[in-house]
Amino acid sequence: MQPPDELMAQEFLPALRHLVAKELRAQGFSQNRISSMLGVTQASVSLYLSSDSDRSYSLLSGLSLSAEEANRYAALLAEDAKRNAVDAVGTLNTVWTGLLGRGAVCARHRSLHPALADCDVCIREYGKDRSAFSEAVSEVAGAVRRLEASRGFVSVMPEVSVNLALAVGDAESAADVVAVPGRIVRVKGRPKAILPPEPGASRHLSRVLILVRTIKPEVRACVNLRYDWKMAAVLKKLRLRTLEIGGYPSSASGDPTVQALENCLSSIDGGFDVLVDLGGNGVEPNVYLFAASAALAADLALGISQAYSAG
């Protein structure tokens, strides 16, 4: 048995770690800090930083990743690594399964194991329902463009930035939810998506959306905005019903928002329009808006941003 996971461990992961280490070093992080963020020894980081990147680009090219794509993913993974290890693992897994699903790894895999010449397991496993995902990606991309076109939208963007997620079919995991890798951030005073939408791009927002869909199945999309006293007044003025969670203790771990939402699911009936996370223990307050489509989620977010700016 020769699964493609061997290529993940022996070629894909080391090559991307190399590029991420160089990206983090370029941002001014010490070898010790990079070691901690990547979960490798300082000696490994020293080797990454002292060696040329050509071999890593060559390995990734063999897996159908261009140098441009490799740099893009390295920059995204560096941002994830700075936030937390879970986000980085989620992004790494999304990139890898995406390559498997479109058959990008097949040529390299078959060159090592000719007996697998007729194998299409990965395409069948990870490439399922690609048409549905393509439609979802287009839908989210259109909604994101609407947000990017609004200069006033930055007024409601939280420090953790914004994402917009859309569930595909009976979504059960982050892999079934299309979102924006790296989120929508402020660039020269305007909202700007770092990368195009893709499945599995936001583990946090996907989990929030999937949980809410268990009691509000009509919901398919979710977007997060900042939350403060002014936002509270806007939500009240627009007569949007709120469900509040938050006030996390210093001992909170994992994803407090998701855990708090899970804990209250059994006692609520879906009688709310927005979820308000009051924050706590390093968690920034956010409000989560829900809608039946990505376009409607964007419309609601823009309407709220206009009311927020007018107030």
Rounded Cα gap, residues 205 and 261, in angstroms: 12
pTM of the model: 0.66
Bridge partners (DSSP) listed for residue 277:
245, 286
pLDDT level of residue 129 (50, 70, 90 thresholds): low
Q: If you average pLDDT over each of 129-143, 161-175, 214-228, which comes out highest? A: 214-228
How far is Cα of residue 62 from the mean position of the Cα atoms in its chain? 26
| Residue-averaged pLDDT of the chain | 89
Residue 197 token pair: 């939408």
* 34-46 per-position pLDDT tens digit: 999 999 999 999 9
Topology of domain 130-310, CATH: L-fuculose-1-phosphate Aldolase (3.40.225)
Per-residue pLDDT, 251:
65
* 145-199 per-position pLDDT tens digit: 999 999 999 999 999 999 999 999 889 888 889 999 889 999 989 999 988 888 8
Q: What is the signed CA dihedral for 4, 104, 22, 5, rounded to 10 degrees?
A: -10
Per-residue pLDDT, 288:
98
Mean pLDDT of 138-143: 92
Residue 66 token pair: 């261009």
| Residue spans per domain, the chain | 5-126, 130-310
Bridge partners (DSSP) listed for residue 242:
274
Mean pLDDT of 247-258: 78
Per-residue pLDDT, 8:
92
| pLDDT higher than 80, residue 237 | yes
| pLDDT higher than 70, residue 12 | yes
pLDDT level of residue 125 (50, 70, 90 thresholds): confident
Rounded Cα gap, residues 237 and 243, in angstroms: 16
* 87-122 per-position pLDDT tens digit: 788 888 888 888 888 788 888 998 888 888 778 788
What type of residue sits at position 97? T
Given CA atoms 158, 160, 164, 167 in this order, what sign does their dihedral have? negative
Question: What are the distances in angstroms from CA 282 to CA 193, 211, 230, 244, 248?
Answer: 24, 22, 21, 17, 9
pLDDT level of residue 128 (50, 70, 90 thresholds): low
pLDDT level of residue 64 (50, 70, 90 thresholds): confident
